[in-house]
Amino acid sequence: MKRVTSRLQSIKLKRIITVFLVGLTFLISSAFDLHGNQLQAQAEPVTPEATQYKVDNGESEAEVKANRIKDNAEKSAKLLEDEGINIKNRAAETKGKNIFENVKDKLNLDEPIDPGTKKAGKQLKEAAEDVVKAPQKALKDISK
């Protein structure tokens, strides 16, 4: 019992009461909404981009969201319309050609292969054959 009493005396009663009162104050202020809108920033927007995020006090949050969704839908519709026109124009330009002919033209597949490229291909093939044959030769030498 003496240990419990001495332990309680070592704990500062002042600290316990202070922490309890601060916690109680936070709970009461949030429960009754004592701070209200005082914590909201009241500065005017500086950049033009920031004005689109400004909320008028006259509109509700739902109205603001609805307007934002409507604006985004209009922008998306215009973008899709513009892209559709671009696709139609591209299709009209290539109407007489096959898609494979377009690829063939763009990649220059009609031109002959450069002799340097052929030489490099042969050297690569020979090097690959050497890589394969060297271990096979080593195995034959070991088995003799």
Residue whose entry in the numeric block shows the structure tokens 């490099």: 120
Q: Which pLDDT belongs to residue 21? A: 92
The H-assigned helical ranges of the chain are 2-10, 13-31, 61-93, 99-107, 115-143
52: helix, strand or coil: helix
Share of residues in the chain with pLDDT > 70 (%): 72
Structural domains in the chain (count)? 3
Q: What CA–CA distance (Å, rounded) separates 131 from 17?
A: 82
Q: Report how far Cα 114 is from the mean position of its chain's Cα atoms.
A: 43
Classify 50 as helix, strand or coil: helix
pLDDT exceeding 90 applies to what percent of the chain?
10
Given a cut of 60, whether residue 30 has pLDDT beyond it is yes
For residue 44, being part of any structural domain is answered with no
Residue 16 lies in a domain: yes
Q: With cut-offs at 50, 70 and 90, classify the pLDDT of residue 119.
A: very high
Residues 51-101 pLDDT 10s: 676 555 666 777 888 889 999 989 888 888 877 777 666 666 666 566 677
Structural domain that includes position 21: 1-35
Is the model's pLDDT at 39 over the cut of 60?
A: no
Q: 131 is written with which tokens?
A: 């890589």
Query: Does residue 68 form part of some domain?
Result: yes
Taking a C-beta distance cutoff of 8 angstroms, is the pair 32, 26 a contact?
no
